[in-house]
Amino acid sequence: MKFLYAITYGICYVFSLLPLKIHYFFSDVVLYPLLYHVIKYRRKVVRKNLTECFPQKDLKEIAEIEKKFYHWFTDYLLETLKLLSISRESLMKRMTFEGLDEAMERMTNENKTFVFVYLGHYCNWEWIASLNYWTPESFHAAQIYHPLYNKLFDWMFLQVRSRPGGENIPMKTVLKRIIELKNEKRPTFIGFISDQAPKWNSMHHWTEFLNHKTFFFIGGEQIGKKMDALFYYMDITRPQRGYYHCRLRLMTNDAKNIPNYDLTDMYARLLEESIQSHPEYWLWSHKRWKRTYEQWLQRQEEITEKQETKHT
């Protein structure tokens, strides 16, 4: 298995050394036609998601967004691969941040240990790992990640995400690691990508999002309140191909006094705004609504019935 990892990494690394112009040429003439026209990678999922999320758009508009999505998606795959070798200087030119100094100043002035940053699978979220390049050594940068089922891909993505120097925290150890950082009194930025589809047992809060009743993870909000963290939203844009800009938007500096779920709902609204502005940059191939609110209600009724039967 280690030999397979080494071979895979070697091939990917050599390919990553090519200039981004070559990557984009490969994206246009090989990868996009292959995924969209030949393999038709999750075409049905993408079309279903777009149609349900934008019922006001006609088929022509949906098809246009769909094609733009696949063009961006193939770029994203190769841009992620490029992280294996791209220089610090080049990445800092291509992934810029706004509002970072203000966030660090707030941490110092308000005696905060954490900035919890909400983002989604929008634009190139992998390049957000370069945040570590923009902060002083006294600050720490980390991101929460969910290990992939495919061990080879999981290992590869960890190599990519770790290269800029940020820490990758598995979801199962989030609270433990955050408490450790709190005890170390180390000022830390932690990124939460919270638009995934969860398992049934993790569902507790639903909100309106893209014309669907949608579940969002509330762990970031719950932990952030306990840690008295600052909350920011990463508003990412793509000024041109191969360049991204991230604006940190303050959500609250007083999380303890925000009613439960309000921060999660605010995140859903902000992410929806981003998606509405340029829908082609969200991960439409993800089966976001494979578990519905109606199914969840049915499950809750069945659980209640079982509990009542057990106690009679």
Q: What is the mean pLDDT of residues 72-88?
A: 96
| Integer Cα distance of 289 and 303 in angstroms | 22
Closest CA to 128 of 236, 224, 219: 236
**298-308 pLDDT tens trace:** 888 877 777 77
Whole-number pLDDT of residue 299: 85
Residue carrying the six token digits 């079982």 = 306
pTM of structure: 0.92
How does residue 1 score in pLDDT terms, banded at 50, 70 and 90? low
How does residue 7 score in pLDDT terms, banded at 50, 70 and 90? confident
Sign of the Cα torsion 93, 98, 101, 106 reads negative
| Integer Cα distance of 20 and 265 in angstroms | 37
Closest CA to 182 of 214, 228, 241: 228
Whole-number pLDDT of residue 312: 63
Does the structure show a pLDDT above 80 at 197? no
Give the CA distances from residue 89 to residues 85, 130, 134, 163, 248, in Å, rounded to whole numbers and listed in that order: 12, 11, 11, 14, 21
How does residue 118 score in pLDDT terms, banded at 50, 70 and 90? very high
Q: Where are the domains of the chain?
A: 91-298
Q: In the chain, how many H helices and how many E strands? A: 12, 9
Does the structure show a pLDDT above 80 at 21? yes
Q: Considering the chain, what percentage of its residues have pLDDT values greater than 90? A: 74
| Integer Cα distance of 18 and 139 in angstroms | 32
Which residue type is seen at 287? K
| Integer Cα distance of 249 and 269 in angstroms | 13
Least confident of 123-127, 137-141, 157-161, 283-287: 157-161
Cα angle 284-288-292, degrees, rounded to a multiple of 5? 140
**24-53 pLDDT tens trace:** 999 999 999 999 999 999 999 999 999 999
Whole-number pLDDT of residue 73: 98
**Contacts with 255 (C-beta within 8 Å, 6 or more apart), sequence order:** 221, 224, 225, 228, 229, 230, 231, 263
Closest CA to 118 of 225, 235, 226: 235
Are 244 and 94 in contact by the 8 Å Cβ rule? The answer is yes
